[in-house]
Structure 1
């Protein structure tokens, strides 16, 4: 039970006295609480700085790759006919394009009229084919026109045909529309089912169904090593019984798709021909004409006697004999259908090629005609008309990225200034003043912007420092971008500007015997010395070191290739800056030869590395600083808990002391009263 004292006997305000005594006792607690709040404020500031550095790292990453820095824009002389976009793999230039026709999807209208959507159409079978796949829709005596539309659209195996109703002159017509453009996607109304063959076994690779891109040599049914004359033989008969015979030579790159093309080519594209497709791992041969057929297919393998390849190919069975009749009255008669739009490819001519024909594509978006350019066809050109596409460098995008880079850098500088300044008038200091990590951040992110960029030399490179392309640090530590200087540099030496900003894994050697071969994302920019030892023209040992240092690092030698050590520390970070550097070395005789190898790294990549050292999840110095501050807050919290418990006990002891005092005084007063005093 809590003790409450009023000082009735002593005449003292004991409650106030205890509070005053406890205020003295609480001085340590108040100091701990103040220290904890200071640590909390510091942690909040460190977290905000972490976020600012993360944003800056994203900005640096956006400009740290020369290839991705290349940006192009396309201007069309007539956007109503052709619009286009360009990727970083495009090239400057001008192209003239004629559009003869747009790609279109097929559309068929059933001529028979119906008064109402719910009018019955009768019992039977409706058969159509699309994309080499046939569907048989079965109706009953109660099936309506709308029911047929729904049956087609809700068919789980619908190959890509949309059914709808067209109302014209108060009458309804069934409409079938292909969902794909291109000449291969026609809709066929069939009087009979289409003859099909299917392989008895699935083609598999590593136990899974093979796909079109699967290489023949990767099939589970293949073993051994290919020679130079290994062949798949394709034999059989066409729809009308005409013999088929063809061969496909197999190489390391031959795919299942190439095999299907070879089978289709062997059977031909005429009415008696057939098309090979892959469906759920099985090869299917589908006739181009519906009805009963004499088609057969046999695949064999003829091995190169000099090789060891073995390939087992599947046999085939009839999965549809082509004799199922389309019995839905009227619907199976092709004369009752009007093709209002035929499936067709787009046709264009680029820069006059081909002179006597057209480049055809199944769609109206074309990506394989002009390198790095995606063309969207919107309309056709007139007979004497061409559309001109002009591809130019898009320097505005680069400037926008650089401006964002500058802004994110300056946010960090402003934040550090605010949180590390000292105000002599008030005697207050920023929460991060004298913090070593924060000071290091400011120094290290500034360094790549005011010094020579790693791996660049004034003897061979046009630009070696950011200031030369308009990026300078002013007297206040803020970064500035002079767009006039940048524009001039981009106009004069576009590629050199991009390299200074985002060079990555670009190298060179001063030796004819030791040549730069490759670098990795672990390789830092700089100049390295390489020493290679040859014995009887065989590379036997090699070592590397940073130019100007004394310690060599043993490299790995494989054949004539040197790979610099990629040894890592406990945190997984590579120890040596040349990690991942690859070189080729050739020499006739016995000797130890040397070379200097330069690896270029743009200042954006340098900053990425610097920022990573601060931000890494487990070992980044800013991350560690945050963790240490969090630990300190937790430790102070434990001290506060203990101190609060101590104070509770101290207050209880004081209350008990004063309670005893009051009791003693009450007893004395009682005795005096008894004595008449």
Structure 2
């Protein structure tokens, strides 16, 4: 701000100090209020951020608790190295014994040797794999590499073709891409020389089960086969059985020696539910702690939390407690509450968990847990709806934080405006004091002149 370089020459007053005091009298109250408001807003932002963090942890857990299959998970136990079992939430519990008799495989065969780069012959190769067919036209100049490429282009993924080079020449290897009986590769040759039995030309790639076939079969196409509980045999065109045990998939990877087998069991996964509900209680109590820390009042010390009396926090906790405490009416007409799972509410709003009672209740109420937590009126779903509304991006807490941040910005803007006003005030005060100084100086000069004139008058005696 501006100042007068030689203020008070006329009046003898310390004008700079006087102006500064007058301006500060306007500035200090505003700055004090601004600093207090911004400090309060920043503290509230921090508290809301802490609450949102704990809500996020709770919301992640509630996401699982609102899903029906969370409460229908299964545990599979087996030591077999010949198969694995995947059990879904709909799979039946029980004990089973599996003997893997054979694995599903695709047809694979290798041709006789061909001279590298030499023409194979001329004609048509008609392929049949199961119910699928395709043809390959072979020209008189095509070598084995060209034939392989044409088969790959025409097969539409039914056959994989490759060339293996051995000491005696190149061999064409064909492998079917479909496992299961009936998916053998058949090749009917139409040779331009008119003879498919002469062992020359394109007839060397004939494979129809004829004695003149030149291909050597390495694998025949066959089904996978398993025996269940030593009684029932089941076959499948792949190594995956999804209809043997309801809701479960058995994937076979190896065969048993004759007469041997492995057992597996499917049971309800009660332990994972106990773990999830224990984590829920812990996460919920973190939310309560964060809210208490931000809104607690200490009457002895005369202190209050940053969010004491805040309507957003108060409304949120009321909604959470309502969703938590409202009993769920099941389809059979019975009513269920958290307390029946060994989860009770303390006076401070936190939850208390009886581990033994929880485990026993999960065991006895397993089939109802999905409805209790994940139905439209279930505890998990209703509580998740409330918590998500507050913690989500752009949710109610984010709106409060944004409002407080905007308030801080407005205070900074108001300070800029206030400083402009104070600059104007200071300039006006200096102008007024300058006018006063000039006036006092003029009056003093006039007084001095009059005194001199009076002193020069005859017979006038100055009393000074």
TM above 0.5: yes
Q: In the alignment, which residue of structure 2 is the partner of 1:502?
A: 373
**Pair 1:25-2:45 in alignment:** no
User: Distance in 2 between the 1:54 and 1:16 partners?
Assistant: 56
Which sits farther off after the overlay, 136-145 or 67-76?
Answer: 136-145
Cα offset, 1:659, TM superposition: 6.1
Counterparts of 1:299-318 in structure 2, within 5 Å, are none
Measured against aligned partners, the alpha-carbon deviations of 1:638-666 in whole angstroms (never above 9, x if no partner) come to 46535522421431441364367569869
CA deviations over 1:80-121 (Å, ceiling 9, x no partner)? 112212111122212222222111122222221455xxx344
Are the equivalent residues in 2 in contact too, given 1:131–1:186 (CA < 8 A)?
yes
Q: Greater CA deviation, 97-106 or 656-665?
A: 656-665
Summarize deviations over 1:492-550 as a string: whole Å, max 9, x none.
45435x2684373xxxxxxxxxxxxxxxx3xx4xxxxxxxxxxxxxxxxxxxxxxxxxx
Q: Compute the displacement of 1:345 (Å).
A: 1.5
Whether 2:350 is the aligned partner of 1:351: answer no
Does 402-411 or 484-493 show the bigger shift?
Answer: 484-493
Q: Determine if contact 1:178/1:187 at 8 Å carries over to the other structure.
A: yes
Does residue 206 of structure 2 align to residue 434 of structure 1?
no
- Alignment partner of 1:330: what SS? helix
Deviations 1:236-288 (A, max 9, x none): xxxxxxxxxxxxxxxxxxxxxxxxxxxxxxxxxxxxxxxxxxxxxxxxxxxxx
Q: Summarize the alignment of residues 34-53 of structure 1 with structure 2, pairs less than 5 Å apart.
A: 34-36=36-38, 38-43=40-45, 45-46=47-48, 48-50=50-52, 52-53=54-55
What displacement does 1:63 show?
2.8
Aligned 8 A contact 2:125 2:190 in 1:
no
Aligned partner (choices 448, 454, 461) of residue 328 of structure 2:
454
- Maintained 8 Å contact 1:7/1:13: no
Q: TM-score, normalised by structure 2?
A: 0.75
What SS does the corresponding residue of 1:336 show, helix, strand or coil? coil
Correspondence 1:338 to 2:216: yes
User: 3-state SS of the aligned residue for 1:95?
Assistant: strand
Deviation (angstroms), 1:69 = 0.6
Q: Which has the higher helix share?
A: 2
Q: Compute the displacement of 1:170 (Å).
A: 7.7
Aligned to 1:322: none
Cα deviation, residue 79, structure 1? 1.7
Alignment partner of 1:603 is 2:375: no
Q: What per-residue deviation string (whole Å, max 9, x for no partner) do you get for residues 281-324 of structure 1?
A: xxxxxxxxxxxxxxxxxxxxxxxxxxxxxxxxxxxxxxxxxxxx
SS in 2 for 1:191: strand
2:104–2:239 Cα contact (<8 Å) kept: yes
* 1:13-162 correspondence to structure 2 within 5 Å: 21-26=22-27, 27-32=29-34, 34-36=36-38, 38-43=40-45, 45-46=47-48, 48-50=50-52, 52-64=54-66, 68-76=70-78, 78-114=79-115, 119-122=117-120, 124=122, 126-130=125-129, 132-138=131-137, 145-153=144-152, 155=153, 158-162=156-160
Cα distance, 1:614–1:627 mapped onto 2, change above 3 Å: closer
Assess if the C-alpha contact under 8 Å between 2:344 and 2:351 holds in 1: yes
Equivalent residues of 1:7, 1:14 under 8 A apart: no
Q: 1:131 Cα deviation (Å)?
A: 5.6
Q: Paired residue for 1:478?
A: 350
Deviations for 1:594-651, whole angstroms, at most 9, x for unmatched residues? Answer: xxxxxxxx43344345546757999xxxx45653664565466446535522421431
- 1:416 is aligned to 291
Conserved in 2, the CA contact under 8 Å of 1:120 and 1:141? no
**What are the residue-to-residue correspondences of 1:438-587 with 2, within 5 Å?**
438-447=313-322, 449=324, 451=325, 453-455=327-329, 464-474=336-346, 476-495=348-367, 498=369, 501-502=372-373, 504=375, 521=376, 524=377
Counterpart residue number, 1:224: none
Change (3 A) 1:13 1:369: farther
Relative distance call for 1:625 and 1:611 in structure 2 (3 A) is: closer
Q: Higher relative contact order at CA 8 Å, sep ≥6: structure 1 or structure 2?
A: 2
Larger radius of gyration: 2
> Would you say 1:641 and 2:413 are equivalent positions?
yes
**TM-score of the pair, normalised by structure 1:** 0.54
Distance 2:318 2:417 in 1: 46
- 1:646-657 equivalences under 5 Å are 646-655=418-427, 657=429
In 2, Cα distance between equivalents of 1:40 and 1:149: 73
Deviations 1:430-460 (A, max 9, x none): 22211233234334434555x5723269x98
Partner of 2:184: 186
What is the alpha-carbon distance in structure 2 between the residues aligned to residue 121 and residue 49 of structure 1? 78
Q: In structure 2, how many angstroms separate the alpha carbons of the residues matched to 1:192 and 1:401?
A: 68
Question: How far has the Cα of 1:381 moved from its partner?
Answer: 2.2
CA change 1:111–1:44 in 2 (3 A) is farther
Contact 1:453 1:500 in 2 (8 A): no
- The number of aligned residues is 429
Aligned 8 A contact 2:128 2:186 in 1: yes
Deviation at 1:489, TM superposition (A): 3.0
CA distance in 1, matches of 2:279, 2:168: 62
State the partner residue of 1:360. 235
Contact 1:112 1:336 in 2 (8 A): no
Are the counterparts in 2 of residues 50 and 615 from structure 1 also a CA contact under 8 Å? yes
After superposition, the Cα gap between the structure-2 partners of 1:50 and 1:184, relative to the gap in structure 1 and judged at 3 Å, is farther
Q: Which runs of 5+ in 1 are unaligned?
A: 194-326, 505-520, 525-601
In the TM superposition, what is the alpha-carbon distance from 1:346 to its structure 2 partner? 0.9
Choose 330-339 or 373-382, whichever is displaced more.
330-339
- The Cα of 1:173 is off from its aligned counterpart by 2.4
**Deviation of residue 365 (structure 1)?**
1.6
Contact map agreement 1:445 1:610 (CA 8 A) in 2: yes
- 1:140/1:17 Cα in 2 relative to 1: closer, same or farther (>3 Å)? farther
